[in-house]
Structure formats: structure tokens, C-alpha cells
Amino acid sequence: MSTAWIAVLCVGVATVAIKAAGPVLAGERELPLRTGRMVALVGPALLAALVATQALTTDEELVLDERGAGLVAAAGAIALRAPLIVVVLVAAAAAALLRVIT
């Protein structure tokens, strides 16, 4: 078997298992109050981490580039209560425009 196929199979099996673990193993159980309160914060904590890493990092470095500018533009659109699609388009347009200019 080629190296590529070994990677495809191992990564595939591992990912399927990781994604299924929570819903299959913890789905029917009632969580204790404290655990429930912590689980409710997974959303804010991980979404903020995704925003930070996808806008401000490349590989293993902190980078301030067009994506950061796009994020600022998106924040402005969010503050003006723009709908989701507008927020996303504003960010993409700001980043694309900056890349054309610079």
C-alpha cells in the first residue's frame, strides 16, 4: 500500500472515531450541573480560538495580514447588525481589495 493510502485510511478512521465519540458515548446521559455549565462554554471558547487562529496565524507563526483587515471589516459589519452573508462578503472583499492594492 502506498504511503498516501496509509495516511488516508488512518486519518479517516481516527477522524470518524473522534467526531462520533461525544454523540455516541455521552448523548443519552444527563450531565451534572457544573459539567453542563462548562460544556455550554465550549462554543464561545472554541469559536474565539478559531477566529484567532484562522485570522491571525499561518502555520506556527502569528501573522497580521489581509485576513486581519478582513476581520476588522467583519467586526464593523457585525456592529452595524449586518446579516451573516454581508459580514462574510465584507471580510472577503476587504481582504481581496487589500491584496490587489498592496
Partner 1 sequence: MFQTSGSRSSYAAGARAILPLSPAVLLFGASFGVLAQSAGFDPVASIAMSATTFAGSAQFAAVSVLGAGGTALAAIAAAVLLNARYGPMGLAAAKAFRGGRPRRALESQLLVDESWALAQQDGRFDIRRMLGAGLVLYASWVGGTALGVAVGSSVGDPATLGLDAAFPALFLALLVPLVHSRRALAAALAGGGIALLLTPITPAGVPVIAATCGVLFGLLPERRREHEARETRARPARQGRPCPGEATS
Binding to partner 1 in span 70-99, by CB under 8 A: 70-71, 73-75, 78, 84-85, 87-97, 99
Close Cβ partners of 13 (under 8 Å, ≥ 6 residues apart): none
Three-class SS of 49-65 = HHHHHHHHEECCEECCC
Question: Interface with partner 1 includes 38 (CB under 8 A)?
Answer: yes
Give the nearest distance from C-beta 102 to partner 1 in angstroms: 13
Binding positions for partner 1, 39-68, rule CB under 8 A: 39-57, 59-62, 66-67
Close Cβ partners of 90 (under 8 Å, ≥ 6 residues apart): 70, 73, 74, 76, 77, 82
Cα–Cα dist 84/77, whole Å: 9
**Pick from 87, 95, 91, 89: which is nearest to 66 by CA?**
95
Give the nearest distance from C-beta 53 to partner 1 in angstroms: 5
Give the nearest distance from C-beta 17 to partner 1 in angstroms: 9
Give the nearest distance from C-beta 69 to partner 1 in angstroms: 8
Work out which of 14, 32, 64, 102 binds partner 1, going by CB under 8 A. Answer: 14
